[in-house]
Structure 1
Amino acid sequence: MQKFILGKKNHITWISAVLIVIAFMSKLAFENIEIFIGSLAIASILGVAPIAIQAYQALRVKVVSIDVLVTIAVLGAFLIQNFEESAIVTFLFLFGAFLEQRTLNKTRSAIKELTEMAPESALKQMENGEFEEVEVDEVDVGDILLVKTGAKVPVDGTVLTGEGHINEASITGESVPVSKKKDTQVYAGTILENGTLQIVADRVGEDTTFGRIIELVEEAQDSKSEAERFIDRFSKYYTPAVLVLSIIVWLISRNIELAITILVLGCPGALVIGVPVSNVAGIGNGARHGVLLKGSEVINDFSRVDTVVFDKTGTLTIGNPKVAEQQIYTDNVDEVLGYLASVENESDHPLAKAVVEYIGDTKAYPVEKTDVVKGGGIVAQVDGHRVAVGNVALMEQEKVDITGKARADIARFEENGNSLVLTAVDGELKALMGIRDQIRPGVKENLQKLKRLGVKNLVVLSGDNQGTVDLVARELGLTEAHGHMLPEDKSGYIGELQAKGRIVAFVGDGVNDSPSLALAQIGIAMGSGTDVAIETSDVVLMNSDFSRLPHALGLTKATANNMRQNILIAVGVVLILLASLVFSEWMSMSIGMLVHEASILVVILNGMRLLRYKLRY
């Protein structure tokens, strides 16, 4: 029966709400006191049932929770026939718990999403030298595997033969595919976009980088779920104090009505609703401004953050490589750009797509005799000319003369963190383009707002090379920058910060970010990121709007302050009421109840102020 009632707690909440509405409508509209009292009595009985069960379960483990005081207060209200108070208090208590739980009930599905992304099969070399498809669980360390274009790499390993480009976004978060050749490392869960590779398995199963991602998420989420809500910690002292005071008064006065009145006045109506109403108003404000806050724990922890750690790609940067710089070495600009676009249209490489997008509409030329040079680029015949498009190594292979000015431009583009695309026509260098991931507009200004809100440390962690990460850090004025970071490196670094006493928020968008999102006190996901990142996180910036981050931090600080104000109001009023009841003659039940209800209204209005919150700077 207990399990059934607790399972129907949300249904009970809404039934209680309907009964309360019916009660007040019958009184105000029809002056029917019988229906008024009956509806409130039924609402009280229904509402107190799950609360009483939770109180009983808490007492069994020797914990005097706030459920205990609410239960006793409702029983006391019944004895003095104050059904209005008992019904409203039970409804508000259940409704507050419902709102908080509703924002947190999806996080566990992140594990399922991760496991579904793991590779399931592999092409394993058998004793006869042939490759056969087997379950990934049948692969052992030292086995030789074949990875074809479009396939997932099944294990962490080392390339034996072949060349190709692998999309490592699931591990490093970087959008530009990485060139792989003999003796380079590959990771499980990444995708071979072109080429064919033979690899030897170095780590398999749970020992792979991808396997460790899943393990890290599980561990971090388990440790987080043990956190207690602030109101329960407070009630550890508040609840027994009110109970003891009521008993003492009864023992001294032998006045059962006075003792019950103390319980009713001591019932934390304003305390119970004060924290949830602040949370609901804060969460509501966030939702209207593109910020999803997942519960009161998130608000409390986020408000105390002093260190914000960022993933680079898709967070500080847009996540799609684009042409950032261009240098032309010919007067026939339109013709050269037409040749370049025609050649790049033959490729599906992200750099090629960036070039085509940058050039836009232009004259298309027929492309013949296309030769893809692995790790270099493309050489083709275009309109009777030999056109080479690729990196510096390809230009040297084609014996293209690179002048001193061009070499200076190449060095400058590389210093700015660009990937280079050079174009030569008939052995002469005609164009140089620098392609890099662009910093999100307004990021620098928003980081300054975070500093003004009290964030002392701004750190970027990325799987990209250290030079590129340093450039981003210098441009944005970050405190620290670390490149070449795998998922376990990122989560390990966050653990080091926490060991130093830092309150850390991590901002990311990819599957590779999910361990760090779960481990940090506050995980913040960009809304256009993966479902796993969003569900693992505590805060989601919808539509990936980075400008919402300062608003989110300012809002949680305001909400945390508002919660503390409501607690102070609620406890202060209760203490004054109890003191007046015991030590004065003018305090009566009716006056006390009037002040008690007024305190509930005050904390509600105070909490609702958060709906109008806007960041002032």
Structure 2
Amino acid sequence: MVKKINDFLAGVPMTIVGGVFLVASLILMLMKIEVPADPAWISVIISGIPLLYLAIWRIIYNKGMSKISSALLISIAMIAAIAIGDIFAAGEVAFIMAIGAVLEDKTAERSKKGLKELISLAPQQGRRIINRKEEMINAKEIKVGYILRVLPGEAIPVDGKIISGNTSVDQAIMTGESLPVDKEVGDNVFCGTINRFGAIDMEATNVGEDSSLQKLIRMVQDAENKQAPIQRIADKWATWLVPVALLIAIVTYFVTQDIVRAVTVLVVFCPCALVLATPTAIMAAIGQATKHGVVIKSGEALENMGKVDTIAFDKTGTLTFGKLEVSDMISFSKELDENELLTLIASAESRSEHPLGKAIVAHAKVKNLVLKDVKEFCMEAGKGIYANVSGRNLFCGSEKYLIENGIDIPKQVSDTLDTLRNQGKASILAAADGICVGVVGLSDVLRSTAKEMVAELGKMDTQTVLLTGDNRRTADYFANQVGITSVRAELLPEEKVQNIVQLQQEGKAVCMIGDGVNDAPALKTASVGVAMGAMGSDIAVDAADIALMSDDISKIPYLKRLSNATVRTIKFSISLSLFINFVAILMSFMGWLTPTTGALVHNAGSIFVVLIAALLYDRKFD
């Protein structure tokens, strides 16, 4: 009950009400109008009760020196001001503290929606094969050794090994790979990934909490729990501020024999400007970033970004657009030029649902090629397709698929395939009437700003690392294109986390930039997680501390400059507030300030801090 009342009083609406009554008290005081009860009493009640509650709670539950907090010092000053009848001074210090708490709470809010969405990806049912019959069972009932059947379009319910059938599996949730991965008997499949084409039978190997998806969920939860709330700078300093303030107030009383001077010392010693320094600067910086399409979720993330010396990038959807396009069209036949070869292959692939086939058809449409009629069509999941196009028997697919269908692969073709693989490209071979006639190369598209961004980070003494689930050749190719020398490829989500932890153990402050569900644990584990907001998954965006809503990775150097400027602003504001407090303490000791005028000086310091922070909003950081 007490906590509910406290939370209600500490909320934004009641804090505004307290501010209104405090202003009313100041107006009445300046106009020298006497009223039966000072309106500032309302401010004392609204803002003072949560403050007193916090101070007492910390004394009871906190350990060691953390019992002493800024809330305790301000509570003492508030009570002392009430004791000598200066209600306005009591209300003012309580209200400024309440404003600081509201601002800091707003900058520290973190969304939990992403974790819920990740949990929702866990399959709820599986198709068990028993006595040659299918039965649907709850995914929680699946045990190691069960034989399961997964049809096209279904999510794989647990980790397992294929014992029958071929398919292509969309593993983006686990590895971030932009292409479905071809699977055959003996290959492993992961919980939560999507079976795209062929029906498969699999044997369950890891179930329940041991499955890959559940491990992914646990990693996000664990990383979330490790994120400590931002500690107020005023509370860090309160361990010496409180005893020093009390000592100076006591000395002032014994030297001057004036209780009013002693209370004034306590009022001006309150670290209200100190409390405001961090949240106001952070809110201004967050507003500045928002104008540039960057959403910063917490002050802690902004501060940590300035400390980052190592940035780890995912590849697909981060350094690249995550969208495959035809990059090469190579004909091995003198009878077919590139456009004729493209027309032939695109006609056959027009019946296919495979992403590579769709990319080829889209490329043909861009070139305004007229596709030919297809009389026969057959697809072997995970291998390739057969089609009869204008009377020609056409096979399109992998090198292995063509060999299985009795088609010879000359050395020229093998060398071309090796070249494409070394460039990180996917390839589809085409054979017409038993002869290999050409190959199509497809590649993800590198973001135009990626290379310049990496170079700029290098000038800022920031190391860059590529952490990707893609194969080694593809990873090396794209890393070389942008200038990243440290490459770690073929990583599962837990391996990305392990790599980040390893870097942190080496003393690095790591920022992770990614866009997929599989990046969520790494985004949480890193000192700062940055997600691609426009194209990235909701789970990645919610797991991250910062989101690039325009997917513009050139904003990363801007983020570092903004963070550094924010930290410098906070330090300057703190120094200024301490200087004002020092001067005000001397004036209080000399009797030149009363608790009321001391509170107004106190307010002036807080206004200066807010104005300095506001300058961040329009500063240029590009």
In the alignment, which residue of structure 2 is the partner of 1:172? 175
Q: How many angstroms does 1:407 deviate by?
A: 4.2
Tell me by how many angstroms 1:131 deviates: 2.4
Q: Deviations over 1:311-368 (max 9, x none)?
A: 1111111112222233345554444322222222211111112112222232122111
Q: What CA deviation, in whole Å up to 9, does each residue of 1:183-202 have, x standing for no partner?
A: 11111111101111111111
Amino acid across the alignment from 1:285: Q
Confirm or deny: 8 A CA contact 1:311 1:507 kept in the other structure.
yes
Cα distance, 1:530 vs structure 2:
2.0
Alignment CA distance shift 1:134-1:414 (3 Å): same
Give runs of aligned pairs for residues 360-379 of structure 1, distance below 5 A: 360=365, 361-379=368-386
Q: 1:261 to 1:22 in 2, by over 3 A?
A: closer
Q: Which residue of 2 aligns with 1:68?
A: 72
Q: Out of 97, 101, 106, which is 1:102 matched to?
A: 106
Q: Identify if the C-alpha distance between structure 1 residues 503 and 446 changes in structure 2 by more than 3 Å, giving closer, same or farther.
A: same
Does the Cα contact within 8 Å between 1:168 and 1:191 map onto a contact in 2? yes
Which residue number corresponds to residue 351 of structure 2?
A: 346
Distance 1:551 1:22 in 2: 44
Letter in structure 1 aligned against 2:531:
A
Alignment equivalent of 1:124, drawn from 108, 112, 128:
128
2:90 & 2:595 partners in 1: Cα distance?
A: 15
1:47 Cα deviation from its structure 2 partner: 1.4
When structure 1 is superposed on structure 2, of 212-221 and 337-346 the one drifting more is: 337-346
Aligned residue type for 2:178:
S
1:14 aligns with 2:16: yes
Structure 1 residues 18 and 447: alpha-carbon distance in aligned structure 2, compared to 1, 3 A threshold: farther
Give RMSD over aligned pairs. 2.7
Counterpart CA distance in 1 for 2:48 and 2:211 is 50
Matches within 5 A, 1:230-269: 230-269=233-272
Task: Give 1:253 shift.
Answer: 3.6
Post-superposition CA distance 1:102-123 (Å, at most 9, x none): 3444433333222111111111
Aligned-partner residue type, residue 128 of structure 2: K
State the Cα distance separating 1:562 from its structure 2 match: 0.9
Which amino acid letter does the alignment assign opposite residue 203 of structure 2?
A: V
Contact 1:308–1:458 (Cα < 8 Å) also in 2 = yes
Of the three residues 181, 190, 193, the one matched with 2:193 is: 190
Contact 2:384 2:396 in 1 (8 A): yes
What is the Cα deviation at residue 49 of structure 1?
Answer: 1.6
Shift of 1:73: 2.5
Q: By how many angstroms is 1:232 displaced?
A: 2.1
Change (3 A) 1:406 1:33: farther
1:197-212 equivalences in 2 (<5 Å): 197-212=200-215
Could you say if the C-alpha distance between residues 410 and 57 of structure 1 is closer, same or farther in structure 2, counting changes exceeding 3 Å?
same
Query: 1:470 Cα shift?
Result: 1.3
SS of the residue corresponding to residue 225 of structure 1 reads coil
SS of residue matched to 2:174 = coil
Q: What amino acid maps onto 1:350 in structure 2?
A: P
- Aligned equivalents of 1:436, 1:35: Cα separation in 2: 78
Match of 2:282 in 1: 279
User: Among residues 522, 532, 550, which one is paired with 1:526 in the alignment?
Assistant: 532
Matched AA of 2:191: A
Change (3 A) 1:167 1:299: same
1:149 maps to 152
Query: How far apart, in 2, do the equivalents of 1:52 and 1:535 lie?
Result: 35
The question of whether the paired residues in 1 share the 8 Å contact of 2:107 and 2:282 is answered with no
SS in 2 for 1:195: coil
Q: 1:359 maps to what in 2?
A: 364
Deviations 1:222-275 (A, max 9, x none): 121366344422223223321332233334443210110001110112112111
Offset of 1:213 from its aligned partner? 0.9
Q: Which amino acid aligns with 1:48?
A: G
Report if aligned partners of 1:293, 1:538 keep a CA contact under 8 Å in 2. Answer: yes
Secondary structure of the residue aligned to 1:301 is helix
Contact 2:151 2:198 in 1 (8 A): yes
Partners of 1:73 and 1:263 within 8 A in 2: yes
Separation in 2, partners of 1:610, 1:153 = 50
8 Å Cα contact 2:110-2:297 kept in structure 1: no
Of 489, 492, 495 in structure 1, the residue corresponding to residue 495 of structure 2 is 489
Is 1:160 matched with 2:163?
Answer: yes
1:446 to 2:462 alignment: no
Change (3 A) 1:358 1:237: farther
* Contact preservation (8 Å) 1:147, 1:153: yes
Gaps of 5+ in 2: none
Would you say the 8 A contact 1:26–1:36 is kept in 2?
Answer: no
Residue 503 (structure 1) aligns with: 509
Report the Cα offset of residue 591 of structure 1. 7.2
**Distance of 2:257 and 2:594 partners within structure 1:** 18
Using a 3 Å threshold, how does the CA distance of structure 1 residues 4 and 336 change in structure 2: closer, same or farther?
Answer: same
For the residues of structure 2 that align with 1:358 and 1:32, how far apart are their CA atoms? Answer: 81
Paired residue type of 1:200? E
Distance 2:35 2:429 in 1: 84
CA separation of 1:266/1:104 partners in 2, compared to 1, >3 Å: closer, same or farther?
closer
Q: Tell me the amino acid that sits aligned with residue 14 of structure 1.
A: I
The offset of 1:611, in angstroms, is 0.3
Q: Using a 3 Å threshold, how does the CA distance of structure 1 residues 371 and 143 change in structure 2: closer, same or farther?
A: same
Q: Is 2:59 the partner of 1:59?
A: yes
- Structure 1 window deviating more from structure 2 (291-300 vs 89-98): it is 89-98
For residue 418 of structure 2, what is the aligned residue in structure 1? 411
In structure 1, how many angstroms separate the alpha carbons of the residues matched to 2:413 and 2:494? Answer: 40
Distance 1:159 1:454, change over 3 A: same
TM-score, normalised with respect to structure 1: 0.92
Task: Say which is worse superposed, 243-252 or 136-145, in terms of deviation.
Answer: 243-252
Q: 1:67 to 1:131 in 2, by over 3 A?
A: same
SS in 1 for 2:79: helix
Alignment deviations for residues 273-303 of structure 1 (CA, whole Å, 9 cap, x no partner): 1111111101111111111212222222221
Deviations 1:510-545 (A, max 9, x none): 221111111111111111322222222211111322
Distance 2:35 2:160 in 1: 74
Q: 1:402 Cα deviation (Å)?
A: 5.4
CA contact (8 A) 2:314 2:513 kept: yes
2: CA distance, partners of 1:338 / 1:33: 90
- d(CA) in 1 for partners of 2:99, 2:41: 18
Amino acid at match of 1:467: R
Instruction: Rate the CA distance shift 1:94–1:530 in 2: closer, same or farther, 3 A.
Output: farther
Superposed displacement of residue 590, structure 1: 7.8
Match of residue 439 from structure 2: 432
SS in 1 for 2:357: helix
Higher deviation after alignment, 88-97 or 295-304: 88-97
Q: Report the Cα offset of residue 415 of structure 1.
A: 1.1
Secondary structure at 2:346 match in 1: helix
Identity %: 31
1:64·1:240 contact (CA, 8 Å) conserved in 2? no
Q: Indicate the residue corresponding to 1:542 in structure 2.
A: 549
Q: Does 1:602 align with 2:602?
A: no
**Alpha carbons 1:109, 1:535 under 8 Å: kept:** yes
Amino acid at match of 1:99: L
Using a 3 Å threshold, how does the CA distance of structure 1 residues 240 and 344 change in structure 2: closer, same or farther?
Answer: farther
Deviation, structure 1 residue 71: 2.0
Change (3 A) 1:39 1:591: closer
Take 2:233 and 2:523, find their aligned partners in 1: how far apart are those partners?
Answer: 22
Paired amino acid for 1:213:
L
- Secondary structure of 1:176's partner? coil
Listed as ranges, the gaps of 5+ residues in structure 1 are none
Q: Does 1:478 align with 2:484?
A: yes
1:528-587 deviation per Cα after TM superposition (whole angstroms, max 9, x unaligned): 3222222222111113221222222221111111111111111122123224543x5767
Taking a change above 3 Å as real, the CA distance of residues 123 and 23 of structure 1, as seen in their structure-2 partners, is same
Check whether the contact 1:27–1:36 (CA below 8 A) recurs between aligned residues: no
Q: Which amino acid aligns with 2:17?
A: I
- How many residue pairs get aligned? The number is 611
